[in-house]
Amino acid sequence: MTLEELIYSRLADNAAVSDMLTEYGGRPALFLQRAPDDTAQEWGAKKYPRAEYLVDMVADPERHSSGVVSVHIYSDDAGSPPEDIAPAVRKALCDIIMQADDGAYCITWERTELFDIEKNMSPNTLVNGCSLTFLLIAFPAQMTKDPDPALAVQDYLKELEPEALVINKDYIENVFEPSLHSPAFYVRVSQYETDRQTYALTWLNCIITIHIIVPTPEARNSWARFLADCLHMAGNVNMPDDSPLLIRKVAVDNAADYLTVGQISVRAQYAVTNYHENTHPLKERYFEE
């Protein structure tokens, strides 16, 4: 499913949202970008409350894509006030993981604004509204080949917390809703560089960032401290090829944005094998008698 289809399904199938909206063609009056004209035959006796949503994507050099999701709710004097519908919409979309056709995304609430329609959308109808703005961030897969530090930390987190969702490792059936005891983790390698080279190995320093997604700031802080302590005590993590990922430093920043920055930063070191060809062949045979 596309991201737009997932958002529609999430809102339309949520009883707290759909029960407060009128119907259009037998379905909740929820539309992508713009609602049909009020004269359309699919409208019933009531034309409000209704909702429109828009996904505005922008390119992101690190995350593939990010953007904004806007939901506009309209109502007249006879329907539920927009400010009563907005909390249900916010709860349905906030801090959930969506697995679209082009990757995993997370939506988080940013702000809510009330407004009035100066020019009536329908004759003799006074319409007011409410706009909800959500931030959208992509969680692209970063796995490459062995040895893979991102995959190593993913495996470690999954073994440590089997009930958690590890994004890009675990299967997601369209939508995953994190909870206090079932958080979502996203692991990415934000930086790496060569430390030193030997004949057999090249040692690399890397910075691994862990994002923790749970419903409340208190739970995010608790999970960050718990994971950091576990990494400190472990000292190293096994890579997929059984080589060690050496943990050099673990830092936690609870004030960091959990979607764009990530709360845990791990400085680690690992080695890749050098495959040498025989670059200095013996040109002349020499025998000493």
pLDDT recorded at residue 120? 47
pLDDT recorded at residue 276? 58
* Cβ-based neighbours of 14, under 8 Å, separated by 6 or more: 88, 92
Q: Sign of the C-alpha dihedral, residues 55, 87, 13, 75?
A: negative
Listed as ranges, residues in the chain with pLDDT below 70 are 60-65, 118-125, 276-289
The tokens 């992101």 sit on which residue? Answer: 60
The tokens 């927009």 sit on which residue? Answer: 82
Number of residues that make up the chain: 289
Alpha-carbon gap, residue 96 to 234, rounded angstroms: 30
Q: Read off the pTM.
A: 0.83
pLDDT recorded at residue 200? 83
Among residues 92, 118, 122, which one has the least CA distance to residue 107? Answer: 92
Residue-wise pLDDT tens digits, 253-279: 999 989 889 999 999 999 988 875 555
Alpha-carbon gap, residue 76 to 253, rounded angstroms: 45
DSSP conformational letter for 43: B
pLDDT recorded at residue 197? 86
* DSSP run (H or E) holding 27: strand 27-28
The tokens 């470690």 sit on which residue? Answer: 156
The tokens 């997604």 sit on which residue? Answer: 213
pLDDT recorded at residue 63? 63
pLDDT recorded at residue 286? 59
